[in-house]
Amino acid sequence: MVSALDRFAKSLADESTKQIRGCVERTSALMTRLSVDTIDELAHRLAQGRADESNNRLEALRQRYPRMAEAKLAVSALFLSLEKAAVAGGLTSYHSLLHRLFPSASGRHYQDRLKRCKANVFSFNYDRLFEISFCRHFEVEERYAFYGTLGLNSGVQAFHNENLEFDDGRFSFLKLHGSVGMFAYDDDWGMRHGHLPLTADGSAAPTDADLFEVNRDRTVSSEPRSSLIFFPHEKEYLLSGEETRFPYRNYAKQVWQRAEQIAAQASEIWLIGYSICETDFPYTMGLLRAAKGCKRIVIQSTHPDPIYQKLKVRAKELSCSLEVYAQSF
């Protein structure tokens, strides 16, 4: 990640991306200083005070959270910038998955196929490759809210505020750690959720105006927009039931509640290309244990045995339903 951020920073020579470049450079420098190789681990170290420069707790907290906000912005900008190259590569695996989810016999129009689909997809990824592949796979009607109940049914509606909305009668795609390109903010009418435009060719290269707040005079401020990305370690307080003021608080709670509801109805679960990192382990176990009627849990990976052994030893009640499928995504 550090080398990727460094390369990305060098490509941001335009005046319209000057503030993004500063965030990327500062985030890369912090990762180097703390000897971490993922954004998730950087956020955890920041939350633990490993980069504090003040002995005053209040002042230290004032430093930590802007740094986390910058880390989210940096990874968002990087991932958005990589979308075009990913599309040029064909996204073959995603399209194979979409054919599997929505076989041609399930309806001619994609709305019919969304309603008849028997599966749901949960993602721990921050990127938007599933969504881009969906746009390429189907002729999506742009007048519908893409993440809303007539689209991917991910909860984020175009014109609704505080609560996410889901339709029980159709396919649902849930981003369990949020997403690049998604934002949340409070205003006089309550909580707002939104997202940047998504294109089938992956051409949405971000500028400062996309990722920073815009002033009333239409100039770009230095305040990062509140990303809907939330890091693994943040789930502990976001899902605890305690009230917080983080803009992504409602999204986190409601998308995980929805995931548990769906998991509880599952008869079969596939863990595809997912290693279940330690920070996610208890929450993933919560979803698997909610699926009391599940008959099969299939681990699909090029190296499934370590994941199989991990679940067999640490979640013995699941071992009778575990299977391995040694296949890449």
pLDDT at 308: 95
Q: Whole-angstrom Cα distance, residue 252 to residue 237?
A: 10
What are the domain boundaries of the chain?
A: 2-88, 92-326
Spell out, as residue ranges, where the chain has pLDDT lower than 70.
106-107, 141-145, 158-162
pLDDT at 159: 66
In degrees, rounded to 5, the angle at the alpha carbon of residue 81 between the alpha carbons of residues 179 and 327 is 65
pLDDT at 152: 93
Taking the alpha carbons at both ends of the chain, their separation in whole angstroms is: 21
pLDDT at 106: 66
Q: Whole-angstrom Cα distance, residue 63 to residue 73?
A: 16
Of the CA atoms within 13 Å of residue 1, those in its CB half-sphere come to 22
pLDDT at 265: 94
pLDDT at 144: 63
